[in-house]
Structure 1
Amino acid sequence: MEFLHQKILDNTVEKYLWFAGIMLFAFLFKRYISGILGTLIYNFFRRYTKDNRVKQFNTLIFRPASWLIMLLTASFALQLLNFPKAWEIKIAEYELPFILVKILRCIIALTVTWVLLRMIDFISIILRERAEQTEGKMDDQLVPFIKDLLKIIVVLISMGIILGGILHFNIAGILTGLGIGGLALALAAQDTLSNLFGSLTIFLDRPFTVGDLIKVGDVTGTVEKVGFRSTRLRTTEKTFVTIPNKKMTDSNVDNLTLRTFRRVNMTIGLSMETSPEQLQKIISEIQSCFDSKPEWTQENFVRFDSFSDHALNIMIEYYVPRTEYLEFLKEKEAVNFFILQTIQKHNSAIAHPIRVIKETKE
């Protein structure tokens, strides 16, 4: 037993064994302890979700909770040990034990922040689930915005606690003493503030919501997220485009989802052999097709428009009351087949360019 009372760096072997045992216990049972902790916290959210998401919550929170358990255990176990006098040195007028304690507390504070950020991720999952049950899209758009807002608040509070509460910095004095540096920081943050006000304008004015197909400049895509700084679009080529919110508010935004009809305008050239009687019958029959559809707008028209070198041009313009792209393509295809069948029915044909080559003899 004398071995247990031998001292190494001002601590007995028994104290080292106690420290190692406590840390080993925490390492072996951290999964079990974090699972219990996760279940207890999840019970607070259970009333807000229909499905049992305790496994999903524990998966999100496991890593940060495990680190937090190990750090808290280390902080407790270190109380059993004496700091070796041989290591008591000063760094920038501060004792090494003081510095190490501050570093440990900062790491614990950051780990708590990590846990809170993961909890916010889970809250956003619940909010998104409830938003999907409503008909409106505004709440779908607000969920990522609220998620980002809560994360920013948590990070700012964490920074304040670390700088002011743990490191005992005078935050007010730091902000006051920035001077010209603060002015430079404000100028650098000008674009960020502009984008922030742009996001508020988007939420208040609601020119579009998540899921809308919009066109901004030369970019056309579906809105996937409206954040603090930018709006993200998924284009028809499946690329992901990020546009600053300031540009969204300064540009002309064409919300293609809100249109009631899709316009089709085409010119068809019939062969020059088509007689006036055939031409009138073809025009009349195509116009009758549009007029027979009560859900279509009455602004559709078919007219004999002009002559060209090799064709009699018919202008066709109609509006399809199908805003979904695939449904629109089906309607357009059906109209194209009907036009082709009508032309063939009246013994006419689509005109082809004619090239006349004259050969002269010298």
Structure 2
Amino acid sequence: MIHTEGLTKTFHRKKEVVEAVKGIDVDVREGELVAFLGPNGAGKSTTLRMLTSLLEPTSGRAEVAGFDIRTQPAEVRSRIGYIGQGNGGGFSYRVADELHNQGRFYGLPASEYQRRAADLLAALELDGLGKRTVQSLSGGQRRRLDVALGLMNHPPLLFLDEPTTGLDPHSRANLWEHIGVLRERYGMTIVLTTHYLDEADSMAERVVVIDHGTIVADAPPAALKRDHADDVVTLVVAGTPGSPAQVPDDVTRVRAALAPVVGEVGGGAGEPGRGGSDGPGDRLHATVGAGGDVTVTLSTTHGADRLPEAIESLRVAGLSVRSAGLKQASLDDVFLNLTGRSLREEAA
């Protein structure tokens, strides 16, 4: 559905040259939902604007829905829907009129664009609002109208640029529910940019991470978290009552008890494990608190498996676990490890 080779975009601002996109090679298959993640200025929106033929690339090539974005922009535009970051409806215009005008732009006969407008208003829970002005709608209703405008031509490919920015959590969930239903109905391919990591994690089959105008990772969310971030298991193990001289022995006992779970692990934070078929990348760190308890943190790609195994190994060794916790890897951890920045902080 999308194929790009060496796509670049350079802007000239006075004497400054800004390389917004530095060579994007990406393929999107028919029916996929692909999310582009990256901080502000990473090149996400510029890439989408090139793929939708709104910006001409500086170099490289791209085919969208089977047509070249440089030489066949009209063919590309007739086969896509594009929902930008701003609201698409004119504030003083009526909702139904905006949809009808969109249908006219695509050359649809009156009977067809009226039918499609009515269907989309019903599907997006906007029925009864056709005579209202756009400015009288709530934020969530305006965004759903934007989706309706983007779907008037029944596009096989839909671009969503930050579709839920500014919406409250309920409106965000509601919008995604509608998009999911419409995606199934029309069999659409969807490409989106978002700052909301939960959207990318739960909705996208693939996540493309862009930083400084280049793709730094491209994989399903689960694979990205497995390859570029760790789960963290935290255990608090009861220490031996008595003299502080016992403390080194407690740490040694805890580490020995956990060795079968994580393999032979190093003595400090960040030291890679070297043994065990399942845990060559596991890292264990043990410290003693003021009360004598041993706090263990285990960084691993298998946190959900390691936690019960670790508790059982400590129990068999005669050690008592006071508390246990698991922090699973997130896409923000992935982005932080890949770029040195937190996407949540960038969004804020």
TM-score by length of 2: 0.30
Instruction: Give the structure with the higher percent strand.
Output: 2
Q: Relative contact order (C-alpha < 8 Å, sep 6+): which is higher?
A: 2
Pair member with larger Rg? 1
Instruction: Give the structure with the higher percent helix.
Output: 1
